[in-house]
Amino acid sequence: MSTLAIHNGRVIDPALGRDGIADVVIVDGRIARVGPNEGDAVVEAERIDATGLVVAPGFVDLHTHLREPGFEYKETIATGTAAAARGGFTTVCAMPNTSPPLDSRAAVESVLREADASARVRVLPIGCITHGRAGKELAPAGELAGAGVVALSDDGDAVADPSLMRHALEYSTRFHLPIAQHCEDPRLVRDGQMHEGWVATRLGLRGRPASAEETFVARDIALAELTGAHLHICHVSTAGSVALIRAARERGAHVTTEVTPHHLTLTHEEVAFGASYAELRYNTDAKVNPPLREERDLEALIAALRDGVIDCIATDHAPHATSDKEIEFDLAAAGISGLETAFGLCMRLVHAGQVDLPTLIERLTVGPATAWGLDRRPGLEGLGTLAPGAVGDVVLLDPAAEWTVDPAAFASRGRNTPLAGATLRGFVAATIFGGNIVHQTERAVAL
C-alpha cells in the first residue's frame, strides 16, 4: 500500500464546495480522505507540507497538441506531458492533427502505447471527424470510439461543408462523443494572418475577421439543435460568439465551450507592440488561430467564463520549433506553447478581481471533466474533484508567487510564447498524478 499525505494546505475543491485548510490523503493512487488533520491519522506515508499553498484537483486540458506521431521535432508525448505536469495538468486530451492524423484505430492505439511508455500524466486521445482531416468524408467514428477517443475534432481546420458537419453530429450521438469544432470559415479567413482590425491594417497584414468564427458558431449551434448532438466549440474568441453561445445554452442546446488563457488576457496589439507603441514588430509568437482579438472581446470572454456560459479553460498548447516561427510572418506557423504558463496567465484575472480563485479552479478541473463526461468514464470516476475514490490527481499552487517566463527553461520543446520575459504571479508548486509526484519545486517540501 502506498500513501501520500498532503498536509495543511488550503484545499479548494469546487465540485464539493470545499474551501478550507485540510489534509489530503491519497492511498494506492486514489483520494482516500480529505479533512483537517486527516494526514496525522495515517501511520506510514510520504508527506508533503502544503502550508501556505492551495491544494486543488489536477487540471484537465481538453485541447493539447502533443505532435506525436509525425512532428516530434516540435513536441513528443514525453516532453508535452512533462510540460503538462509543470503546468499543473494531470489529464490532457491530445488533438489528432498529427502525421498520420488520428483517424484510425491503429493511429489511436499508437498514441496510447507511446503514452503508456513515456507520458508523465494521463493522455486521452481525440480522433478526427473526417478522414485525413481533409473535410471530405467522415472518419470511422465507431472504430475510433472503440479505440478509446474521448471526442472527435479536425482542429486546426473547421469542417467547412455544412452537410458533412450535420452528418458528423448525427453520427457522433451513437457513440456519445462530442464534436469539437475549430470554428473559422476558411473562405472568410483565406490567408489571413491575424485578427482583422486596426493592428492588421497598421502592419499591412491580411486579417481574419471575427465573423469568420461567428458565422460557424451560429451554423454549428443550429446543426447541434437539429441533430440533438453534443457540439463543443474550441477556443472561443469573440464577443459575438459568446452572445450566440449564451442564447443557445438558454434554449437548452447541448453546446459546451472552452476558452484559452491567451484569448482571455492578450489582444491583437501583442502582435505589433512590445512594451511601448514606439516600436513596431511582427511577433510570430503572438500568431495563433483563432487570432488574439480586442479588449471588448476579452471582456465578454471573461464575463462568460465567470458566469459559466463558457465551461472551461483549455490551453490549445500548440508547440512549434524555432524554425517554424523565426521566419516571415505570413509563413510562420500559428500557435502558442501554453501548458507551462496557463495558470500564471489566468491568475491575472484573479489578481485583477475579475474571476475568483475557486471559479478559476473550477474551470480548470471539474468544468472540463464534466463538459465531456470524462468523469463518467470507467476508471476516471470523480475526475476533476477530490472526492473519496477519485483518481489521486492533485495540484499544489502558490497563487501569489511571482516568476519570470523563460522559454529556454520549458519542459516543452515549443518555446513559442509571447510571454517570454513576462512576470506572472501564480506558480505551480507541485503536481501529483495518481498519487505520484510528477512535478515538484522547492516551494512544496517533503516532511
Q: Is the peptide bond prior to 100 cis by the omega test (within 30 degrees of 0)?
A: yes
Stretch that binds Zn ion, among 226-234, 243-251, 269-277, 437-445 (CB under 5 A): 226-234
Given the complex with ligand DOR, which of 78 and 286 has the nearer CB atom? Answer: 286
Q: Does 101 bind ligand DOR (CB under 6 A)?
A: no
Among 65, 120, 325, 413, binds ligand DOR (CB under 6 A): 65
Q: Rounded distance, CA 144 to CA 127, Å? A: 6
Q: Does 155 bind ligand DOR (CB under 6 A)?
A: yes
Question: For ligand DOR, which residue has the nearest CB?
Answer: 335
Q: Which of 59, 148, 153 minimizes the C-alpha distance to 111? A: 148
Q: Does 288 bind ligand DOR (CB under 6 A)?
A: yes
Residue 155, all three cell numbers = 482542429
Query: Closest distance between ligand DOR and the C-beta of residue 98, in Å?
Result: 9
E strand or H helix that includes residue 437: strand 436-440
With beta carbons less than 8 A apart as the criterion, state whether 266 and 286 touch: yes
Q: Does 194 bind ligand DOR (CB under 6 A)?
A: no
Among 58, 197, 261, 335, binds ligand DOR (CB under 6 A): 335
Given the complex with ligand DOR, which of 265 and 289 has the nearer CB atom? Answer: 289
Q: Is residue 385 exposed (0-12), middle (13-18) or buried (19+ Cβ within 10 Å)? A: buried
Binding at 67: pick from Zn ion, ligand DOR, none (beta carbon under 5-8 Å per type): none
Angstrom CA distances, 123 to 24, 33, 156, 223, 428, stand at: 24, 26, 19, 30, 20
With beta carbons less than 8 A apart as the criterion, state whether 72 and 377 touch: no
Q: Does 57 bind ligand DOR (CB under 6 A)?
A: no
Q: Does 241 bind ligand DOR (CB under 6 A)?
A: no
Q: Does 334 bind ligand DOR (CB under 6 A)?
A: yes
Place of cell 520575459: 421
- Hey, which residues are catalytic here? 316
Q: Determine the 3-state secondary structure of 63 from DSSP.
A: strand
> In the beta sheet, which residues pair with residue 263?
none
Question: What pairing do the DSSP bridges indicate for beta strands 89-94 and 122-125?
Answer: parallel
Binding at 271: pick from Zn ion, ligand DOR, none (beta carbon under 5-8 Å per type): none
Query: Closest distance between Zn ion and the C-beta of residue 327, in Å?
Result: 21
Q: Which of 63, 55, 410, 127 minimizes the C-alpha distance to 262? A: 63
Among 98, 238, 289, 416, binds ligand DOR (CB under 6 A): 289
Query: Nearest 5°: phi and psi at 22?
Result: -160, 170
Residues in 406-435 at the binding interface with ligand DOR, rule: CB under 6 A: none
Binding track over 116-155 against Zn ion, x by CB under 5 A: ---------------------------------------x
Stretch that binds ligand DOR, among 44-52, 110-118, 300-308, 330-338 (CB under 6 A): 330-338
CA-only gyration radius of the chain, Å:
21
Query: Closest distance between ligand DOR and the C-beta of residue 239, in Å?
Result: 20
Angstrom CA distances, 241 to 135, 200, 204, stand at: 23, 21, 26
Among 7, 67, 122, 182, binds Zn ion (CB under 5 A): 182
Query: Closest distance between ligand DOR and the C-beta of residue 142, in Å?
Result: 26
Query: Closest distance between ligand DOR and the C-beta of residue 321, in Å?
Result: 11
Among 64, 76, 97, 257, binds ligand DOR (CB under 6 A): 97
Binding at 345: pick from Zn ion, ligand DOR, none (beta carbon under 5-8 Å per type): none
Q: What is the DSSP letter of 197?
A: S
Residues in 227-286 at the binding interface with Zn ion, rule: CB under 5 A: 234
CA 370-144-366 angle, to 5 degrees, is 10
Residues recorded for the chain: 447
Given the complex with Zn ion, which of 236 and 394 has the nearer CB atom? Answer: 236
Full DSSP string of 317-377: B----HHHHSS-TTTSPP-B--TTTHHHHHHHHHHTTSS-HHHHHHHHTHHHHHHTTGGGS
Summarize as ranges the residues that interact with Zn ion (CB under 5 A): 155, 182, 234
Residues in contact with ligand DOR by the rule CB under 6 A: 65, 97, 155-156, 182, 288-289, 318, 333-335
